[in-house]
Amino acid sequence: MGTKLPESFSKIFLKIYHIVEAILLVAITLATLFAIGNEFLHVFTEQSVLLTDILLMFIYLEVLSMVQQFVTNGKIPVRYPIYIAIMAIARYITLGMKELDGVFVVWLSLSALILAIATIVIRVGHYFWPYETIAKRCHPLDKKRAEQENREERE
């Protein structure tokens, strides 16, 4: 199922899209590095490392991993944002443990468990039905890319 847009428009749009995408990736990386530096400064000024500080560092690490995955592969696995959500829930529970209602903590823990189970389901699904195989059968751009790779291999 192809697009009905003129090819010249599509090329210009894709160029602009890739430029904006690159600018945003650089901005996300710089903002994350700034936040990491800010967190280290906070740890050094307080002269103590709390569990919440470590969890926040893991969130920053996951954001950088997402950027790296996108730059390397051109796509972000769904599990990366899920990892960030699990870490954010754990940090939220850790930060507000004294102020949070017990039932609310149970609900937050249940949501983290559901996200963890979703990650396992996604990993198992990718093991039995790899994305590459499905994408090459279904997505028109991946079909074209696969055909080009096959032609290049034959030559």
The answer to whether residue 119 sits within a structural domain is yes
Domain count for the chain: 2
Q: How far apart are CA 110 and CA 118, in angstroms?
A: 12
Q: pTM for the complete prediction?
A: 0.66
pLDDT score of 11 = 84
The verdict on 54 and 28 lying in the same domain is yes
pLDDT score of 82 = 93
At which of 74, 89, 120 does a domain end? Answer: 74
Residue 55: how many other CB atoms lie within 10 Å: 19
Q: How confident is the model at residue 6 (pLDDT cuts 50, 70, 90)?
A: confident
The verdict on 96 and 129 lying in the same domain is yes
pLDDT score of 147 = 65
Q: How far apart are CA 4 and CA 40, in angstroms?
A: 51
The answer to whether residue 82 sits within a structural domain is yes
Structural domain for 137, as ranges: 77-149
pLDDT score of 10 = 80
Which residues, 6+ apart, have CB-to-CB distance to 81 below 8 Å? 66
